[in-house]
Chain A
Amino acid sequence: MKYIGALLAAIMVMLSGLSVFAAHPATIGAEEVSTASDLIVVKKPETNNSATTKTTYGVTGTGKNGVSVAYYRYDGSTYNAILNSDGAPVQTKIGAAKVFYKQMSLTEGHNKFAVRAEYNGLSQVVYFDINLLKREVLDNVNSFTYDVQSIFTGWI
């Protein structure tokens, strides 16, 4: 009886660990339906379509304590879970600071990502596109970065 109890306890422990990190699928479609809308808020990028000259981009956001977050990259047909160096999906659990942060490497042109949040059976997916521009292109077409030199126009 003791052995059965121990076995059940071990299985429960294993499953409880899996429930945090196994909830996210390996791939998601381009129009995944969210069952919640308030699990996370992506703070950066601020909009679904943005441009940058940064070749590595820090995706940040806030969310409820305990929400599990996974990251996906679009390969032209589907969104695949981003893997860490061990080949395991990169997933984090939001903690006391209620923030998440993940650096994404960008290639020139459009880079499509998704952040998927999961909490108590509810899920939320946020899609965004980061366009990596060459510096000179960005300067010409977009002034979202602060033009420091303009601070001093007419001053010197």
Chain B
Amino acid sequence: MFKERVKTTAMILLFVNLIVLTCRLWFGGGLMREEISDFARSLPLVGGLFHDEKISIPREMLSRPRKILINDGSLWIAYYNTDLAFSPIENRTGQIIRAFLRGETVSSKPVSLREWQAAIENVSIYVEMPIAYTTDMLCSVMGVDGENAPADISAIRDFVILPSTGDTGVFLLVRDAYDGDNARIYQFPRESFSLPAGDLAIYTENNTDYYEPAFSTGVEPEGASLDPMVLFFDSRPSTADLIPANPIAAPEVESRVLGCFFKNVDTAGRYEDGEVSVFVENDGDARIYPGGLFEYRAADENKGVELAESYSSYYETVNSAISFAEDLWGRVSDQPLSVLVSSDLTQSGGGRIHIAMDYYQDGRPVAVRLGGDGFEPMNHGIEMDIADGKIVSYRQLFRSYYGSGTSVLKGDFVEALNYFVNGFSIRESPVITDIYIGYMDRGGSEPLSACWLAELGGDDRVYDYVGEEEAGAADGGEAPPADEEVST
């Protein structure tokens, strides 16, 4: 009799447990607790067991650093967010940054730019996010309750982590993305994290690509300033060529795309303007160019595509914008949308929100530069404007990229620097904020070779240098020559 009761009780407990877990799975966002480590979350099998969600590359990348520069005391090694070895060091730095955002530091004080750079010169980890965020936005994208987040820095883009010692805990330096003189150092309790300096060698061993921040090289180019964190390097890696394809070339795809913008695609007017298909509805119009450029414009700000409630938070609106772009992409491709948000998320207050995204392929960014008769120059893969929760303008260069063979990058870092400095010298006090390897898509159908890309402070565009023999793409700030433009 007793045995039967035990069995019955066990059965009831199991049954209740089953119901509770099922409810959590269906309505509670999964079975994994917040405390489960990032490592466990990153395991595809574990993640797949507990979350039946499609991977969202733009959301995923929003919370991941763009690059991590490790100084182990003997050399600098840089990891980019698509490197295979990126996750272990990212998980470790992510824990520290999340703890900072939760307000778990014990004290802080301002630091000078010299001290910031000195920290990077010593054993340290420099973490650079892909864009700048408000503290609230960074908390949201990193899944942290930001109630106690420090409010000393208004726009965050990068951090420096100093290892713990026997006497002190980990230090974290944060600086304002728009005001380099405003930087602070925060200290964690000694018991919070253990990150001994010796641990950093784990991440640098067997790595032969050496990097050096511009401020450490002691040189200042003439004709342009370099951001102190532009990374010098000496290697010329082999890179894949990319073949671009236009996934909306097929006529049947048009209506699928338009369905995201028009209430009734069938009743929309259509006419051809040269090679451009123009679609008109009462609430807005759309244009599809033969090269894959799609443009939508609402008739006025009240008639845009409903994206989010007008009272939605900044984060919710950005999140909805990403979902919209992914839904749209899902109508034309089976592959996930491989883009990164590339515009800073530092807006405060309401008003119109501009969001730009850029393609990312084979671990490297693909910059877009379109210009020509009949449409505004376009400098990103996706550009959208949102007013009161409605998309009032949306542009996308629809692109799928396929890798094809490899080639050695033309030119080296200094050669590219020369080229950019020469091109930018006609400007007043130009500041080159970054130089890196990527691709430039000008809307054509020819394969894209990897090239050197440069970003300039206060300029939304990315400039390219393709090597000495094929130089001529970067333009020093003026519109590229007409013969370089490929009409879309």
Contact = CB atoms under 8 A, between A and B. Distances in A.
B414 A149 contact: no
Interface stretch (A1-9, A20-28, A57-65, A112-120): A57-65
A59 B232 CA distance: 11
A146 B222 contact: no
B267 interface: no
B171 A101 contact: no
A69 B118 CA distance: 30
Interface stretch (B30-38, B212-220, B308-316, B338-346): B212-220
B122 A146 contact: yes
A97 B232 CA distance: 13
Nearest to A59: B217
Which of B210, B224, B422 has most chain A Cβ within 10 Å?
A: B210
B111 A60 contact: no
B480 to A, nearest CB: 19
A136 to B, nearest CB: 10
Contacts of A54: 74-75
Contacts of B217: 43-44, 58, 60, 99, 101
Contact of B418 (A43, A95, A145, A147): A95
A133 B339 CA distance: 45
B107 interface: yes
B212 A96 contact: no
A148 B413 CA distance: 30
B286 interface: no
B221 A156 contact: no
B247 to A, nearest CB: 40
B187 interface: yes
Given A146-B122, A152-B171, A99 B162 contact: no
B60 interface: no
Contacts of B223: 96-97
B139 to A, nearest CB: 26
B119 A148 contact: yes
B417 interface: yes
Nearest to A133: B74
A151 interface: yes
Interface residues of B, number: 41
A95 to B, nearest CB: 3
A135 B71 CA distance: 13
Contact of B219 (A53, A101, A103, A152): A101
Which of A92, A97, A148 has most chain B Cβ within 10 Å?
A: A97
A147 B197 CA distance: 14
Contact of A100 (B115, B414, B421): B414
Contacts of A56: 75, 210
B168 interface: yes
A146 B121 contact: yes
Given A152-B168, A152-B171, A55 B75 contact: yes
Given A43-B219, A95-B418, A97-B223, A145 B122 contact: yes
B234 A135 contact: no
Closest 10 CB pairs of A and B: A95-B418, A97-B221, A146-B118, A43-B218, A96-B422, A56-B210, A103-B234, A97-B421, A60-B217, A44-B218
Interface of A: 43-44, 46, 53-56, 58, 60-62, 92, 95-103, 135, 145-149, 151-152, 155-156
10 contacts: A53-B74, A55-B74, A56-B75, A60-B219, A62-B220, A96-B425, A99-B217, A146-B121, A156-B107, A156-B168
Interface of B: 73-75, 107, 109, 111, 115, 118-119, 121-122, 124, 162, 165, 168, 171, 185, 187, 210, 212, 216-224, 232-234, 413-415, 417-419, 421-422, 425
Given A58-B212, A99-B219, A151-B118, 17 more contacts: A44-B217, A44-B219, A53-B73, A53-B74, A58-B210, A62-B220, A97-B414, A99-B417, A101-B217, A101-B232, A103-B212, A148-B124, A151-B185, A152-B187, A155-B109, A156-B107, A156-B168
